[in-house]
Structures are given as structure tokens and as C-alpha cells.
Structure 1
């Protein structure tokens, strides 16, 4: 079984700052990460301990809203190239008219495998036809998935009111072939996220539910107590992807939290890797 951590951020890697020391500013001021850095080999070691085969590195382009990208796509691609255990998700600024072109470049030229957006941090409305829809159209044409950071966001500048997933229904219906991942199950909007994932075949959820200091209790509270394991087995086994949100959380603890749920082996296998592998494979051009 291949285990894939569908979303990590490279903000703790020495190699990032060796490439561009100026990124320390956006990482602290925009992303809100203040800890020291460590070599990529340490992350690889953490993946080994957690039983994770691949990590997906993500970034957020906040150029219009905050003045910078947390990590530029070009730098992210160079980090990904350092290990065959890394995959990259691009980010673009939907409020930049050139965003669709930038996304195409990130996928076709840089080899990044999907798109990561954070409406609360990037300060855009997900159902904005003028700004956001051209980006979704390009993602749809490229056959990649789009992850939306929804719900509680630990970045200090993000606002919870901008991260309600309900508006994604319009995106899902306008672009029925576009695969959409609602990060964090949009906690505290978890029931809204559940309804969307059950109703729409192109909406997925992830396991990076981070409202407590213990991923084990956070995941159990949402998946076992709110959703119910029977609902996951019946309706969501193909719709949940494993993601840790590293370095905010140790991937080992999130992987353990998934395994502690007591799901059927096939369901656990799909959540820990198979569903992510499907999302990382580009669909035929739309």
C-alpha cells in the first residue's frame, strides 16, 4: 500500500531558505510559522517513521492580498525535484488576471500536480465568476484537482468568515468535472462539508482537522462522532484523502489517528493513499 500525505508545506525546510532567504518574511508574516528550519532529510525521516511513502508540498500565492507568495511555484518545483518522494501543488492568485496562464505554466512546465487555494488568506470569494472562475476553467482543462483551505485557519491574517464551504456548491455544479478537495473538513463547518461531499461526486474531504492539540481526538470527533463510520464506509470511502498539514502537525500522529478510527482495511487503504493517487493523476482534457 502506498501512503500519500496530500498536503504538507515546505516552510520548515533549510533548502527553501538556501534558495531564497527572503522567504522567511512571508512564511512568518503571512503563513504564521515561527519555528526553526531543518533539512529535507529530517522530513524524509519523519515520513519513514510515519509509514508515509510520498508527501505533497503545497504553497499559497497571496500576492494581491498580502504582497507575496508564501513559496513561489518555481521554488516549490525545485524543492520537489530534490526527492522522488515529493510531489507539488501550485498556487496562483485568483485576483491576478494572469493566474490561468501562471497555472498552466506551473503544471505544464514546472510539473506541479494540482492547485492549492486559501480564500481566507488570499481574500477572494470562491464563487467570484470574474476572478476565480477562469482559474477553475483552466484547472478543469488541465485535468488537475483544486484544494480549498476551508474552516479554521491558523494563519493569523485569515478570517473564519471567509472560509465557509457552502459557496463551493456553485463551483462544483458549474464545473462538474473539476475535482474539489475541502481541506480540514472545513471545521467548524463540518456538517456543511459532509453534505457537499455526499451530494456532489466531485467534492472530496481531507483529514487535516486541527482544532485540538491531538489529531487523534480531532479526527475521532468529526469522523466517528459527527459523521459516523458507517457513513464513511457507505458514502465517503472514495472521497477522503489523508493530509497532515505538516509542519503544523506531525504526520505520524495524523496517520495514527486515521488508523485508530477502526475503518475496514480497504477503506483505510483508500483514504491513506489510493484516493490521493487518483487526484494527483491528471484527467483527460475537458
Structure 2
């Protein structure tokens, strides 16, 4: 089965900063739970290509995302170079600077990302003290809808102790989907601990996709972990709206793919998760040798 990884990060060795950095209170639990800084600093472009080859991942969507402190335009330029050098392998999702920016500036940056040939933008409102449906972001959503861009939004738990969970509640993404009915939205990380509610948002809105980056699939499939309703809907009413993503280097594809295959999902659902939905959403063609 051909595999598309719908979420890998721009490798640290291609970013302007030599090492990953963020405030201590923001990263201390991430380091304990996910070993974030070591994984980010150890993630190289050659390492990404190697693990993709090893796991049969032919194509991927690369996100130039940032938790803060990096210049979005510089990250987008670095991503644009990857896309130019590997056009058959990678599609790009650009980074927005939403800290201390006015709504018009964020919308203008969205337009620049489209001009660079990227297919979408990614943002993490909670890391900047914003709700998903904050009015500051509405001109961006409107511009993205107008330009046919996809918007990926961090949803669910963050391990930052600086930012409350309330910023990412499911009714906020639902509000955005109501206000922008033609805008394709990705609920990155699929919204746990509100998995049932995010499943309902996706069921209401065929424009909303659920992506499982940086998660251990064995827990998504395990009864009693809070994923039950969403997992139960994946083989049926939500089958066309689920995306495999590793969030490399946060989760190694070798582990994620193995656990998905062992999850009990049928072959039709795995094909939708691993390839078909991402191919349709991002417009991937037949892969060619690198």
C-alpha cells in the first residue's frame, strides 16, 4: 500500500536556528512526555528521507510550523526550497506569525504563502493565548477560503504549562467551519481529550479532517482511553476524513504504522487513512523516484 504522511515537520537542520528553543515552562512537560527538544534537534532532512524510504512512505506534507520564537517568513523560505528540490515527494503547509500581529498582516502572510505554491497554512493559537475562533484570525480564515488554502489547527491537549486547554475546545473549530463553509480545516492531533466532540464536528462538516500526528495509535484503538467514539466512527461515517500523520520527528513512522496496522481497522479504512484521503485533499499524483 502506498503511504502518504500528512504531517512531517520542517527538519531542524533546514531551519534558520541551529537548535530548537522555546520557553522552559512551555517545553518542560513536552520534554518529559515526548522528549521534544531532543527529537527536534536530532531530526535531519536526510534522516527523514531515510525513514520514509524504510517504511514505504512515498510522499509527505511538510509543515513549517513553529511553537513561537521563529520567523515565519524564514521558515516558509526554507520549506519552499525543499518543495522546489523535491516536487514529487513533498507538498507544503506554511507557517503564520500570529504573535503581536494585526489581522491584516496575518491575512497578507497567508496570501504570500499561497503565492509560494504551498497548499495551506498551519497555526497553533493556544501557544499565543488565542482561541481557535479568535476574531484576530478571521481575516486569515477568509483569505484562506478565498484562495483555496487548507488550514491546519492544533487541537486538543498541549503540554505547555503556560497556555490553558480552553483555547482549543471543539465548539471553536465548529464555529469556524460554520462561518467558512468552503474552507478545508484539519484538526491536527484530532482533539483529545474532546475526541467525541471533535468527531461530531467532523461528522457535521465534511470540510473538517482529523489528523493523528504525534499520537500512539495503540491508545487511539484501546477502549477506555477517551478515543472510543472517534475510533468507532473511523471505519464508517468518518472514513473519508481521517489522515495518517506522524508529526515526524515527534513520532517515528515505524511505530505509528505498525500500531495502526495492529489496531483492528479493516483494509479499506487503512487505505483511506494511509493514502486515499491525503491524496485527494492535497492533490498528490503518482510518486516518482527521488
The alignment's TM-score, normalised by the length of structure 1, stands at: 0.83
Question: Counterpart of 1:8?
Answer: 8
Give the secondary-structure state (helix, strand or coil) at the position aligned to 1:54: strand
> What 5-or-longer segments of structure 2 have no aligned partner?
28-35, 285-290
Displacement after TM superposition at 1:226 (Å)? 0.5
Give the secondary-structure state (helix, strand or coil) at the position aligned to 1:90: strand
Aligned-residue Cα RMSD (Å) equals 2.6
Question: Counterpart of 1:217?
Answer: 218
Counterpart among 118, 121, 124 of residue 130 in structure 2: 124
Counterpart among 100, 105, 110 of residue 107 in structure 2: 100
User: Aligned in 2, Cα 1:156/1:34: closer, same or farther, shift over 3 Å?
Assistant: farther
User: Aligned in 2, Cα 1:38/1:177: closer, same or farther, shift over 3 Å?
Assistant: closer
Q: How does 1:59-208 map onto structure 2 within 5 Å?
A: 59-60=64-65, 66-69=68-71, 72-83=75-86, 84-94=88-98, 95-96=101-102, 97-108=104-115, 110-129=116-135, 131-154=136-159, 157-208=162-213
Counterpart among 34, 38, 43 of residue 37 in structure 2: 34
Displacement after TM superposition at 1:149 (Å)? 0.7
Q: Aligned residue pairs: how many?
A: 266
Displacement after TM superposition at 1:82 (Å)? 3.4
Q: Is the Cα contact below 8 Å between 1:224 and 1:261 reproduced in 2?
A: no
The alignment's TM-score, normalised by the length of structure 2, stands at: 0.82
Q: Is the Cα contact below 8 Å between 1:7 and 1:58 reproduced in 2?
A: yes
CA shift digits 1:226-281 (9 cap, x unpaired):
02655222201101011111111101211222222232322211111111122213
Give the secondary-structure state (helix, strand or coil) at the position aligned to 1:135: helix
- 1-side partners of 2:81 and 2:241: how far apart? 30
Aligned: 1:280 with 2:277: no
Displacement after TM superposition at 1:206 (Å)? 1.2
